Structure 1
Amino acid sequence: MFFCSLYSGSSGNSILVSTEKSKVLIDAGLPGKSIENALSTIGESPNEIDAIFVTHEHTDHTKGVGVLSRKYDIPIYTDALTWEAMSKSIGKIKEKNIKIIENNHVNIKDMDILSYRISHDAVSPHGYSICSNNKKFSLATDLGYFSKEVEQALKGADAILLESNHDVEMLKFGPYPYVLKRRILSNEGHLSNDDCGRAIINLMDGNFKRIMLGHLSKTNNYPELAYETVKNILIENKLKLNKDIDLLMADRSAPTKCIEF
Structure 2
Amino acid sequence: MQFSVLASGSTGNAFYIETEKQRLLVDAGLSGKQMEELFKQIERSPQNLTAILVTHEHSDHIKGLGIMARKYQLPIYANEKTWRAMEGLIGDIPTEQKFIFPLGDVRSFGDLDVESFGVSHDAAEPMFYVFHHDGKKLALITDTGYVSDRMKGTIQHADVFVFESNHDVEMLRMGRYPWSIKRRILSDVGHVSNEDAALALTDVIGDQTKRIYLAHLSQDNNMKELARMTVEQTLENRGFGVGQQFEICDTDPKVPTKLVYV
Matched ranges for 1:86-165 at <5 A: 86-102=86-102, 104-165=105-166
Q: Given residue 212 of structure 1, which amino acid in structure 2 is its aligned partner?
A: Y
Q: Is the 8 A contact 2:18 2:24 kept in 1?
A: yes
Q: Is the 8 A contact 1:208 1:243 kept in 2?
A: no
In structure 1, the residue matched to 2:78 is 78
1:34 and 2:40 correspond:
no
Q: Is the 8 A contact 2:158 2:206 kept in 1?
A: no
Which has the larger displacement, 123-132 or 237-246?
A: 237-246
In structure 2, the residue matched to 1:49 is 49
3-state DSSP of counterpart to 2:132: strand
Q: Given residue 26 of structure 2, which amino acid in structure 1 is its aligned partner?
A: I
Q: 1:79 to 1:138 in 2, by over 3 A?
A: same
Matched ranges for 1:55-66 at <5 A: 55-66=55-66
For 1:210 and 1:259, the matched residues in 2 are separated by 11
Deviation (angstroms), 1:132: 1.0
3-state DSSP of counterpart to 1:196: helix
Deviation (angstroms), 1:149: 1.8
In structure 2, the residue matched to 1:170 is 171
Q: Is the 8 A contact 1:27 1:54 kept in 2?
A: yes
In structure 2, the residue matched to 1:14 is 14
Q: Given residue 142 of structure 1, which amino acid in structure 2 is its aligned partner?
A: D
Q: Is the 8 A contact 2:157 2:207 kept in 1?
A: no
Q: List per-residue Cα deviations over 1:201-240 (Å, max 9, x = no partner).
A: 1012222331100100000001000010001011111111
Q: List per-residue Cα deviations over 1:33-89 (Å, max 9, x = no partner).
A: 111110011100001111111100000000111101100011100100000101211
Consecutive unaligned residues of structure 2, counting only runs of 5 or more, are none
Q: Given residue 75 of structure 2, which amino acid in structure 1 is its aligned partner?
A: P
Q: Is the 8 A contact 1:117 1:149 kept in 2?
A: no
For 1:233 and 1:87, the matched residues in 2 are separated by 42
For 1:249 and 1:172, the matched residues in 2 are separated by 24
3-state DSSP of counterpart to 2:128: strand
TM-score w.r.t. the length of structure 1 is 0.98
Q: Given residue 123 of structure 2, which amino acid in structure 1 is its aligned partner?
A: A
Q: Is the 8 A contact 1:56 1:126 kept in 2?
A: yes
CA-atom RMSD, angstroms? 1.0
Q: Given residue 8 of structure 2, which amino acid in structure 1 is its aligned partner?
A: S
| Greater than 3 Å deviation, 4+ residue runs | none
Q: Aligned pairs, how many?
A: 261
For 1:207 and 1:132, the matched residues in 2 are separated by 14
Deviation (angstroms), 1:14: 0.1
Deviation (angstroms), 1:32: 1.0
For 2:209 and 2:105, the matched residues in 1 are separated by 27
Q: Given residue 45 of structure 1, which amino acid in structure 2 is its aligned partner?
A: S
For 2:223 and 2:94, the matched residues in 1 are separated by 40
TM-score w.r.t. the length of structure 2 is 0.97
Which has the larger displacement, 126-135 or 102-111?
A: 102-111
Which has the larger displacement, 96-105 or 171-180?
A: 96-105
Consecutive unaligned residues of structure 1, counting only runs of 5 or more, are none
For 1:4 and 1:131, the matched residues in 2 are separated by 16
For 1:243 and 1:133, the matched residues in 2 are separated by 24
Deviation (angstroms), 1:136: 1.2
Q: Given residue 245 of structure 2, which amino acid in structure 1 is its aligned partner?
A: D
Deviation (angstroms), 1:241: 2.0
In structure 1, the residue matched to 2:206 is 205
